[in-house]
Structure 1
Amino acid sequence: MAYDFDLFVIGGGSGGVRCARIAAGHGARVAVAESRHWGGTCVNLGCVPKKLMVQATEYGHWAEDSRGFGWDITPGRHDWAAFIAHKDSEIGRLNRIYVRLLESAGVTLFTGHARFEDAHTLLIGPGPLAPDAEPRRVTAERIVIATGGKPVAQPGIEGHELGIVSDDAFHLKARPDRITIVGSGYIGVEFAGIFDGLGSQATMVYRQHLPLRGFDMDMRRALDEAMTERGIVRHCGTTVHRIERDGSGLKLTLANGHQIASDMVFFAVGRQPNVSGLGLERTAVKTDEGGRVIAHDGGTTDDPSIFAIGDVTNRQNLTPVAIAEGHILADRLFSGSTREWRFDTVPKAVFFSPPLASVGLTEDEAAERAPADIYTARYRSMRHVLTGRNRQTTIKLVVDQASQVVLGAHMLGEEAPEIMQGLAIAVTAGLKKSDFDRTIGIHPSSAEEFVTLRTRTRVAGATGASGPEGP
């Protein structure tokens, strides 16, 4: 059968765009359909605008901190509307870049919502970007689902419809004076820092006793302390029972009976794969109860002509992972070669102030495998000796005791994401603690602390925990 395209990608986000560009570069006839916004979640409603928001908060902190260095700067009131306008302008520029990248690669672009009619046929109809689009039917030998995910509220809570999710936060007309964030994952922590840093009273409510479930326990404790230093109120070990209007604001009743007055409720309780209206029931593609497309190694699904990459598979929901998956898939399908990436050492960062970054195994994960040597340090950085802030930096290395290979690196402190990217290379390469020890540091810097750790804090995974040892 003659198809219109060799490859059709549903979704113009980071993973889908990379897959389309690489496939077109190999000579394939490629098309992409996007229904909402070119660039996907990361560019429009995720990584990029969120990082700009975090940076906006830092300017206020720096203005306050500058007094310790002799500057006479008085922070003024933040102009939310002006900032949002500047942010939107930058996002628009990036949208256009994504379109140009695809067009210059020879990819055919469709603006509209694509749904399956069968395993090789798509109907592209109206979508948010093109509400009046005339339906078009296209065929493709292979189809890639790269539709990403979307944030969810918590429907079990009475009055949940009064809250917002992260997509809404990027387009608020005004900053709320009081905001309550439900959840303590990446998004909850980051937006608590953003709203607090721009002048709101931020309150968090979450089930866990510490934020960021899944991260190293020392980092979670350090982040909890950093939140206290920032003045962010937390109600942990509970959840929201009811939300109701209270005059011009909202009143939240928690499961423990405590009540909170707030101007806005922000649900940061997770995301779900974006599969609504795709017509997957007309294919052999399977999804689980949460809606995630079940993808196997290489992005294959149970339909041999359909593949899935990125957040729609709900594996590692990070932009660089989706990009790598798209690149690998395009190479494999159209060049016969594959580029190697390590997915077990993907670094990650939480852009709070101070930020947290991590790569490799946590202490608990390493201890489940074999005894591990743990090296930690905690200190107040040079900057804050003068600013007067009680802001601590915490760093940690997790080392396999038998082989002395560094299994994990973790940091809460300024510039942590920049430092962790370099450490990710070391962990991916399987370097040993002795390789760190023989590396000369850059002084004075926080990065050098990772190569000057000499005292083992404890042994994890052995019977009994050892105390500190000498150099």
Structure 2
Amino acid sequence: MSFDYDLFVIGGGSGGVRAARVAAGETGAEVALAEEDRYGGTCVIRGCVPKKLMVFASEYADMVQDAQAYGWDVKPGAFDWDVFRGKLYAELDRLEGIYRNILKNNGVETFDQRARLVDAHTIELADGTRKTTKHVLIATGGRPVVPQFPGSELAITSNEIFHLDKLPGRILIVGGGYIASEFAGIMNGMGVQTTQFYRGAQILRGFDEEARGLICEEMRQNGIDVRLGTNVLEMTKDGDQIRVKATDGTEDRFDTVMFATGRTPNADDLGLDTIGVERGRKGEIIVDEYSQTAVPSIFAIGDVTDRVNLTPVAIREGMAFVETVFNGNPTPVDHDLIPTAIFTQPEFGTVGLSEEEAAAQEPVEVYATSFKPMQKAFAGGTQRVLMKLIVSQATRKVLGCHIVAPGAGEMIQLAGIAVKMGATKEDFDRTVAVHPVMAEELVTMRQPVRTA
């Protein structure tokens, strides 16, 4: 049987675009891609890229104070949301144009509409057109969800935070994950009075406890009202504001309430259930190590599979899919030891196991140091940073590296190479320190602070 295409990709985010481009451009496959919204997906349009630009914008508030301490005659000014937002939108438009051109230049046919599956080899577009394809790749990503409670419709999510007409005077951010914690820092830095509720005992659940503790403490020092063990009971409209009743017995008014309490895979209404593609408890598409679903011609990558929901992982999965299906070289995706940066303020970089995870599986040594960095200390700041290594007592391998510091994301990318290669504590010790930088502490810690 002949098909219209060798590959039809549903979803124009980072993973889908990469797979389409490589399959068409490097293997000569006939490829089509359908996207119902903007090209670039969550990361480029409503995630990491605009978020990081907002982080940059919010960090300038402190720089004026620091500059004065270093002898610069600079005066603080007000943050102009309109100026920043205009430039932000222009940058996102530019990036979307790049994504569209990448596909066009590699000969990928694109459809700016929703697509769903009719059977294992047939795609139906929103306008009723049907296309046949040998292989299907679903890369539809995920979306934020707000839990249902009285007044929940008054909340916004991370999707809408980039499109505020004006900055609120007071904002409540609900959630304790990295998205909630990052936006608490952003809003606070932009001059918004910021409160964060998290129902758990500490923010950033699942990460190293010592690191999470320091980040929360620093966020509070920066002026964010972080309220742990607290959740929203109900919300009501109160003039232009939102009245929020909380589980800790308080009642407050906010201009904006943003929920960042979870995301769900975009796998509904794709026709999957009728053709035998299995889905999990959260609605995610279940795949094997080669990203193949229960239907042999259908594959899925990225957040819609709810494996490791990170942009570079979706891209890796897309590349492995092409290698497996179009180059005949079965390539499973390695989800082990993925370095990650969280752009809280202070920034957090992490790779490998937390102290708690490592200690639960084998005896470990913990090397850690927390100190005031030179740049901030000179300016009279009280901010602290953390450098931490978790080491196996048996193999001496570094099982985890955790950095809480300005530029932690840049540092963890490089430390991640060493940890992925299986470096031992002695490999770190043999490396001469770069002085004076914060990261030199990673190679000068001689004595463990504790064993676990």
Which TM-score band (shorter chain)?
Answer: over 0.9
Counterpart check, 1:10 vs 2:2: no
2:78 corresponding residue in structure 1: 77
Give the aligned partner of residue 31 of structure 1. Answer: 32
- Tell me the SS of whatever aligns to 1:297: coil
Q: Give per-residue Cα distances to partners, 1:314-335, cap 9 Å, x unaligned.
A: 1110000000000000011011
Q: 1:146 aligns with which of 124, 129, 139?
A: 139
TM-score when normalising by structure 2: 0.98
Aligned AA (1:143):
V
Question: 1: CA distance between counterparts of 2:255 and 2:288?
Answer: 44
- Correspondence list, 1:27-106, <5 A: 27-106=28-107
Q: 1:209 Cα deviation (Å)?
A: 1.4
| Contact 1:119–1:282 (Cα < 8 Å) also in 2 | no
Contact 1:208–1:236 (CA under 8 A) maintained in structure 2:
yes
The 2-side partners of 1:135 and 1:69 are apart by: 65
Distance in 1, Cα, partners of 2:216 & 2:164: 28
Moved over 4 A (4+): 338-341
Q: Give, as a single letter, the amino acid of the residue that structure 2 aligns with 1:405.
A: K
Q: Counterpart of 1:430? A: 422
Letter of the aligned partner of 1:457 in structure 2? V
Q: What is the one-letter code of the residue matched to 1:22?
A: V
Q: What residue in structure 2 maps to residue 467 of structure 1?
A: none
**For 1:170-222, what per-residue CA distance to the aligned partner results, in whole angstroms no more than 9, with x for missing partners?**
11110101000010101100000000000001101111111100000010111
SS at match of 2:111: strand
Distance (Å, rounded) in 1 between the aligned partners of 2:150 and 2:436? 53
CA distance in 1, matches of 2:95, 2:167: 25
Q: How far is the alpha carbon of 1:337 from its aligned partner?
A: 2.6
Tell me the residue number matched to 2:205: 213
Compute the displacement of 1:338 (Å).
5.3
Q: How does 1:43-442 map to 2 (within 5 A)?
A: 43-125=44-126, 134-155=127-148, 157-337=149-329, 342-442=334-434
- Give the Cα–Cα distance (whole angstroms) in 2 for the partners of residues 136 and 120 of structure 1: 14
Paired residue type of 1:38? Y
The offset of 1:291, in angstroms, is 1.1
Secondary structure (helix, strand or coil) at the match of 1:299 reads coil
Aligned partners of 1:179 and 1:262 also within 8 Å: yes
Look up the SS of the partner of 1:176 in the other structure: coil
The residue number in structure 2 matching 1:130 is none
Give the drift of 1:339: 6.1
Contact 2:121 2:133 in 1 (8 A): yes
Question: Runs of 5+ in structure 1 lacking a partner?
Answer: 126-133, 461-471
Give the distance between the partners of 2:224 and 2:33, measured in 1 at CA: 43
Once superposed, what is the RMSD of the aligned Cα atoms? 1.1
Aligned-partner SS, 2:216: helix
Residue-by-residue CA offset, 1:344-377 (whole Å, 9 max, x unaligned): 1101111012201100011111111110110000
In the aligned structure 1, how far is the partner of 2:281 from the partner of 2:373?
A: 47
- What SS does the corresponding residue of 2:44 show, helix, strand or coil? helix
1:257 deviation in Å?
1.6
Aligned-partner Cα distance in 1 for 2:428–2:221: 32
- Shift, 1:341, TM fit: 6.0
* Per-residue deviation, residues 353-412 of structure 1 (Å, max 9, x unmatched): 220110001111111111011000000001111222211001100000011000100011
Contact 1:13 1:146 in 2 (8 A): yes
State the distance in 1 between where 2:382 and 2:160 align.
Answer: 33
Matched, 1:20 2:20: yes
- Please state whether the residue corresponding to 2:377 is helix, strand or coil: helix
Asked if 1 retains the 8 angstrom alpha-carbon contact of 2:264 and 2:283, the reply is: yes
| CA shift for structure 1 position 284 | 1.1
TM-score of the superposition, structure 1-length normalised? 0.94
Instruction: Provide the aligned length of Structure 1 versus Structure 2.
Output: 451
Q: Deviations over 1:218-258 (max 9, x none)?
A: 10111111111111002211210011122321111112321
Q: Secondary structure at the match of 1:251?
A: strand
Which structure 2 residue ranges, 5 or more long, are not aligned? none
Query: Post-superposition shift, 1:437?
Result: 0.2
**Preserved CA contact (<8 Å) 1:5 1:31:** yes
Counterpart Cα distance in 1 of 2:437 and 2:331: 34
Matched residues, percent identical? 45
Q: Which amino acid aligns with 1:396?
A: K
- Name the SS of the counterpart of 2:290 in structure 1: helix
Instruction: Answer whether contact 1:342 1:428 (CA < 8 A) is retained.
Output: no
SS of the aligned residue for 2:100 comes to: helix
1:131 maps to none
